[in-house]
Structure formats: C-alpha cells, structure tokens
Structure 1
Amino acid sequence: MSDVIQYEVKNRVATIWLNRPHKRNCVSPAVLEQIGIAIDRAEKDNDVLAVVVRGRGNTFCSGADLGELVGPRLATTNDSINLAMVSAQTYDRFYSCSKPTIAAVEGYAVAGGFELMISCDFALATTTARIGDFHIRRALFGGAGPIYRLPRYIGIRRSKELMLTGKLLTGEQAADWGLVNDVSAPEDFDKLIEDFVAPLIDKSPFCMKITKMSVNRGLDADTQSLITLETLACNVVHQSADAKEGVEAFLGKREPQWTGR
C-alpha cells in the first residue's frame, strides 16, 4: 500500500488507515485510488471478516484536498464529473462490500470524510468527534452519498439541516440523531471498536454477505438514478463562481465573498 493509506489485519479484522495527519487526512484523487485498492484487498481476503476505516492523528477525514479543486486538474465539466464519479464509486465499495464495514471516527468527519462515514454499514465516534456535511460552507456539493444515503439514516428534515447549514455534530449528538451506532471517550475508543466488531466476526460470512446484500438492495432500488442526479448536480455546483471563491478563500485563509453565481 502507498504510505498515504495503511492496511493491516488483526484477529480477522482489516483496518484501513488514512495516513495524512498533517492534512487532517484530506482526500486527493491519488488517495481515493489507494482507498479503493485497500477495500478491494479486504473484499478478496477470505480471512478478513470485517473492515474498519480510521484516520491517523486523531482525525478521521476532513474531506477533499481543496488544493486539488483549483487549477487545470478540474478545469472542465468533464473533469468534475469524473472526480465525482470516482468518489461515489470508491465510497460505494464500503457500502456494497460483502463484509461489514465500520467507520471509526475521531476528530473531524466532514464533507468527503462524512460521505465515507455514511457509506459504511456502521459508525462509531468519540465524544470529541465533529461530524457533518460541511460542503455548503464552501459553496460546494457533496457528490458521494448525502442525497441518497443521509435521508435514509436520519430523515429528510435533519438531512436538510445538516446539508443546508453546514453544522457540525458532536459524537454524542450524532448518536442521538442516528448517524453513529455508539460513542465513547477518546481513551476508551479502541475498546469500543473491539467490542463492537466482536459479534460481527463470529457469524457465518456467507449469511453475513447475503443478509447485508438483501438489506442494501431493499433500500437501494433506484440508487443508480440518484447517483447520476447527484453527480450532475455536483458538477454544476463545482463549476460555479461561488465554488471557486469558496476554495480560493479557504486556501487564502480569508472569508469568502459570495456572488450568487
């Protein structure tokens, strides 16, 4: 594995570590590729019965590397669509993986990190976690899960509250909202993960696979249409003047000046 993603297996549980702590584990196209390689590796390993995804440096994932959203890399509509599709397809592998996937959230899980979290079957968090969609704060649009996963977890009103305000929830609030399954103090987090995973890895892998697939298919009857809609909407937003201003303001460490275009 690349050093930006670390992969380890212990007691039949694969852990995928995002390893860019100096950038709060933000995700670039190269990191997305490595995440995809890691989840595929876990899927193909018959000795792995569950997958945990975590972030080094007490941060889960702060979303996309905004430095990658300016300049020639995303100069065209086609560039934006391709990136959105890669993100959606990569994160969907955690949702469609035949093995249970668990997002273990410390620190920030925002924007793309939030999308990765809600793509997993389960989420655990520390009390000090900060969780939310966040895209709208930079006039961006989440292209990898919010419109077709989030309302199914927490309902349309709370989904709109997160997506339209950009508010962040603590780990405890996220548990109250139904976004995470359980929460602990940071010093107890490793134990929480171990205890949560234990009843998932002593079951029939075949039964686990079929049960998970059946539940997912029952909810996702028309997901492909929603993915297409979300990808196109993501592109339209990302090509706006406000999106470019939001990114440039972030990189320039200043407040954005919106024009509504």
Structure 2
Amino acid sequence: MDQLITTRKGPIVRLAFNRPRTLNAFSPDMLKALIAAIGEATQDQNTRVIVLEGEGRAFSAGVDLKALQGAAPVAGRIAHVFDEAAQSAAETVRCCRLPVIAKVHGYCFTGALELALHCDFIFTTVDTKFGDTHVKWGLRPTWGMSQNLARAVGVRRARELSFSARTFTGAEAEAWGLANAAVADKAALDALVETRAGEIAAASPGAVAAYKKLYRLHEEYRPLEDALVEEIRQDFPEITDTVERLKGFGA
C-alpha cells in the first residue's frame, strides 16, 4: 500500500498521508515519498497549489513511536531514525515555490504539527486535536517546532503548550492564530479548502510566488526598514501575465 497518495484536480495537487490504521503516523519512507511528490508537483508548470491531508480519521498523529523502539535516541534526538528525512521534508515544504495548504482534521500531534507549521496555511475543524508532545517522550524538537510555534502563537503560549504537552483544539488554534480557520466538520473543511485553493489557483502564479518569497522577509525578522528596501529590490521576471490580466479589468 502506498504511504502517500497523489491526486490532481486541475491545477491543484493533493498529497494524502495513507497509513490510516496508525492515524497516518509518519514513517521515514512516507516522508521521503512526500519530498519526491512535492518535487514532481512543482516541476509541473500546470500546478498552482499543493494540499497536504490525511486519509481516514486524522491528518497525522506524528512520528510512529513504534519505529523508535530500541533506537536509543541520544540527547533526545532521533537523528539516525527520522530527522534526516523529516528535516528534508520540512525544508521542502517551507521552500516550495508553490503555496502549500495543510488540511488538518482529526489529530495533528508533534511531528505532524511541526510539518503543518511549515505550510503557508492551516485549515482545520473546531474539534481537531493538536499537541506538541516532545517532552512527554523525552524528545527535543529538531524539525522547527521551537521557532515556528512561537512565531504562530507567541512565545509565552508556545512555552505553555510545549512544556505541558497538553492537547488543544482546532477552535483554540484558530483563536490563537495558529490556524487560518476552524470550521464545523470535515465536510465544511473540504468545501473551504476547495474554495481557497481554487482562489489561489486562479491568481497570477508569478505574483503568488513573489508574495511567498517576500513574506519570507517577515519570517526572517529583519528590521522593518531593511525589509522594505528588500521588498523593492527584489525582481520577479516570472510575473508575465500582468498585461493580460489588466485587459480583463474593464471587460
């Protein structure tokens, strides 16, 4: 059984984690498949948006802890088992030239939350369960949790969530700014993601790519003055459809 399912609907590519019996717990092979699938999607010039989702009852429960049995992590690191593939997957998502949507339902714990935080958007349901459980298992984050969670919800709340390993809901995630939106149920989530992905796919691909790159200036925490200069300095020759789109303004 394929651990990752790729489907295309026009310009939108969906990548679905497919280990439903384990709540789509990550395996190294699944993460390697994700890297390859994103690479293939971005190479296709017809692709405009990538959606990450999970089959069955969950987005993903995070790392498959069974894979760590007998692994003897050193200083809380699981580098020799997961980190190389996971860090590459996180970087692939974060640096993807296309917008990446995390469509999160059911459960999203630890490694899955780390991966979702690297996406451009997180859409979820109000009852989805989230959590950072590193400390529960004597592990330390190495896929970006300490940086991205603090950026999403503020450092004080991030400390609370990480130090306590408590579960929080999609409704809380939306209220804190971690999720873009939390809707009533899976059907509403399907509809919302289809709408947002369609809106993005209809936009100028070059302009969207430019915006994605420019928003990285904010994430790098540059002084505002430097970032404003850099925004003007950056050049995006891939934006080639401006004239055509403006012609349609008065039509």
TM-score range relative to shorter protein: 0.7 to 0.9
Separation in structure 2 between the aligned mates of residue 67 and residue 81 of structure 1, nearest angstrom: 15
Deviations 1:104-151 (A, max 9, x none): 011110011111110100000012201121221212222211122111
SS of equivalent residue, structure 1 residue 64: coil
Q: Does the alignment pair 1:64 with 2:63?
A: yes
Separation in structure 2 between the aligned mates of residue 76 and residue 169 of structure 1, nearest angstrom: 27
Deviations 1:212-257 (A, max 9, x none): 01211442379xxxxxxxxxxxxxxxxxxxxxxxxxxxxxxxxxxx
RMSD: 2.2
Separation in structure 1 between the aligned mates of residue 139 and residue 76 of structure 2, nearest angstrom: 14
Alignment of 1:132-211 (within 5 A): 132-186=131-185, 187-211=187-211
Separation in structure 1 between the aligned mates of residue 146 and residue 76 of structure 2, nearest angstrom: 21
Separation in structure 1 between the aligned mates of residue 151 and residue 97 of structure 2, nearest angstrom: 20
TM-score scaled by length of structure 2: 0.82
- Could you tell me whether the CA contact under 8 Å between 2:76 and 2:140 is conserved in 1? no
Residue 44 of structure 1: aligned partner: 43
Alignment of 1:105-120 (within 5 A): 105-120=104-119
Amino acid paired to 2:201: I
Amino acid paired to 2:117: I
- Could you tell me whether the CA contact under 8 Å between 1:98 and 1:208 is conserved in 2? no
- Could you tell me whether the CA contact under 8 Å between 2:57 and 2:105 is conserved in 1? yes
TM-score scaled by length of structure 1: 0.79
**1:14 Cα deviation (Å)?**
0.5
Separation in structure 2 between the aligned mates of residue 93 and residue 159 of structure 1, nearest angstrom: 24
Separation in structure 1 between the aligned mates of residue 93 and residue 141 of structure 2, nearest angstrom: 17
- Could you tell me whether the CA contact under 8 Å between 1:175 and 1:182 is conserved in 2? yes
Residue 20 and residue 43 in structure 1: after superposition, are their counterparts in 2 closer, same or farther (change >3 A)? same
Q: What is the identity percentage for the equivalent residue pairs of Structure 1 and Structure 2?
A: 28
Amino acid paired to 1:52: V
Residue 173 and residue 72 in structure 1: after superposition, are their counterparts in 2 closer, same or farther (change >3 A)? closer
- Greater Cα radius of gyration, structure 1 or 2: 2
SS of equivalent residue, structure 2 residue 202: coil
Q: Number of matched residues?
A: 221
Separation in structure 1 between the aligned mates of residue 150 and residue 169 of structure 2, nearest angstrom: 19
Separation in structure 2 between the aligned mates of residue 201 and residue 83 of structure 1, nearest angstrom: 33
Separation in structure 2 between the aligned mates of residue 163 and residue 72 of structure 1, nearest angstrom: 23
Amino acid paired to 1:192: L
Gaps of 5+ in 1: 223-261
Q: Does the alignment pair 1:27 with 2:26?
A: yes
> Once structures 1 and 2 are overlaid, which stretch shifts more, 172-181 or 76-85?
76-85
Residue 247 of structure 1: aligned partner: none
Deviations 1:81-107 (A, max 9, x none): 673233122112111111110000111
Residue 146 and residue 77 in structure 1: after superposition, are their counterparts in 2 closer, same or farther (change >3 A)? closer
- Could you tell me whether the CA contact under 8 Å between 1:106 and 1:126 is conserved in 2? yes
Amino acid paired to 2:202: D
Separation in structure 2 between the aligned mates of residue 61 and residue 164 of structure 1, nearest angstrom: 21
Residue 75 and residue 136 in structure 1: after superposition, are their counterparts in 2 closer, same or farther (change >3 A)? closer
Alignment of 1:204-243 (within 5 A): 204-220=204-220
